[in-house]
Each structure stands twice: as structure tokens, then as C-alpha cells.
Amino acid sequence: MSFDVRAADLDAINSATKYPSIQTYHQLGERGSLTETVTEFSGSVIGTEKVDGTNARVISLPDGSWLLGSREELLYAKGDLIGNPAQGIMAGLRTFAESLTPVDDVVRVHYLEFYGGKVTAASKQYTGDRAVGHRLFDMVVLRDYRATLDKSPAELSSWRESGGQPFVPEPELAEAAARDGVELTPRLFVLDAAELPREIASTREFLAERMPRTRCALDEGAAGQPEGIVVRTPDRSIIAKARFEDYDRTLRRRGKPGSR
């Protein structure tokens, strides 16, 4: 049976292609303070810049159509006369979506950080001229999409949040970015997991050392303060985020302010 977006369950597509929640590198405790419990990694890990924008999705479908979405909802479909202008995603990513090579019998999702302009309060860190940009940070290819979309809403949510989505590994992601003419979120380092800091203060120092300034500035007027770092295994089986804001808050409450 051929796929037809007009007959498809859009709620199921939306749920199956949402980006899952990411844990913090140090576990969050009361009132947003970090605890000493860290996310355990082993083997090689990749550090990438965490951009302070909004998550966006380009969902390529087997019938040659595509959808644009924010983190939570679908905003626009190929050929629509009217779309949801929320956060500027539709206007900012429609041309990119149109440029992508259609998929075969799969569902492919480009996950992009859409930033700058008026997207978030931190936009000034990336632009002084209200420019907007986007960076690819992950991709999913659903080959068995029929079985996936047949799941109940509760099953889809559990499948997604428990790591069921088949994210492409790092080498394939880099190849896809080159093929599709889109930049990845900046790759900062590749380390053995044993080299990652484990204490809160040393992690704050590590962030400042590895990410002193954003690498995603859109113009010379950017203030340049970065949000943090995402650490992941090459196959994306483990992923965690470390934000300056969380470490500074925790250290202030302990009477040990960060360097900012």
C-alpha cells in the first residue's frame, strides 16, 4: 500500500518524529540545582556546541511530500497556502526543505537548531542584525515506518523517550550534512569518556575551556556567549547536555560563583 500524506495519521507522524528529551550531564535536583550524579559514558565521546535556539524538524515522507515542525507540533506541509508562522520556522526552513532530495520508502527527519532573529531571548548572542540561521544536529531514518505509525499514542511516546528512534551514527550524519548542504552544530572535541570531568566545579571549568565563545555567530554584532555543550557517543546511544547556566546557578547557591 503506497503512502499518501493526505490519508496518513498526522498525530502519529508528529509523535514519532518529535525529538526526545535529553538528560543533563549532572542530574538535576531540587530547584534546578545540579547534583553530583553524572551521566555515565564509556569509550569515545563527541562534544558539540549546544545552540540556544529552537528545535525544528524537516520530515521527508515516502510520497515526495514533506512537513515542517517545531519541537512539539507540525507547522507546514509542502504545497500549503497557509502555515503556522510560529518562531519563524516556516519562513526560515521552507527553502531548505524544498532543496532536499526526496526519500524512497522511508521517513527521514532532519533535526535542526533554528536560531537568531527573535527566536529566543539569547538571539543577541548570535546576531546583532536579527539574522537567522540553522544547524543540523541529528537525523532519524524510519525504515519500518508503517509498523511505527501503527503504534498507539502511549506506545509511540514510550518508544520515543526510551531510545527507540533510529538515529543515524556520526559518520552518516556528517555525510548527510555534506550531501544536503547544511552545516552541523560545531564539533568541539572527541575524547575518551574517562577524560570527562565528574565534579560540578571542574565541569564548569571544562565548559569555559572548550567553549569560550559560540562558533555559530551569524554576524560581527553577535555578543558571542555560548549556551553549553552536548556530549554524545558516536552512535547516539547516550547523550547529555551541560549548560553554563545550570552550573553557574548551582555554584552560586554553594557560594562558589562561576567565572562569568
CATH number at residue 147: 3.30.470.30
Averaged pLDDT for residues 181-198: 97
Domain-located, residue 82? yes
Domain-located, residue 189? yes
Q: Is the pLDDT of residue 29 over 70?
A: yes
Domains held by the chain: number:
1
Domain-located, residue 2? no
Domain-located, residue 57? yes
Domain-located, residue 153? yes
Would you place residue 31 in the very low, low, confident or very high pLDDT band (cuts 50, 70, 90)?
Answer: confident
Average predicted confidence (pLDDT) for the chain: 95
pLDDT, one tens digit per residue, over 71-97 is: 999 999 999 988 999 999 999 999 999
In the chain, pLDDT over 70 holds for what percent of residues? 98
Q: Is the pLDDT of residue 248 over 90?
A: yes
DSSP states of the chain: ----TTTS-HHHHHHHHSPPP-EESEEE-GGG-EEEEE----SEEEEEEE-SSEEEEEEE-TTS-EEEEESSSEEEETT-SS---GGGHHHHHHHHHHHSPPPSSSEEEEEEEEEETTSSTTGGGT-SS--EEEEEEEEEEESSHHHHHTS-HHHHHHHHHTT-S-BPPHHHHHHHHHHHT-PBSPEEEEEEGGGS--SHHHHHHHHHHH-SS-S---STT------EEEEE-TTSSSEEEEEHHHHHHHHHHTT-----
Containing structural domain, residue 220: 10-253
Averaged pLDDT for residues 167-194: 96
Domain-located, residue 170? yes
Domain-located, residue 5? no
Domain-located, residue 3? no
In this structure, of 14-18, 98-102, 214-218, 252-256, the range with the lowest mean pLDDT score is 252-256
Averaged pLDDT for residues 213-222: 98
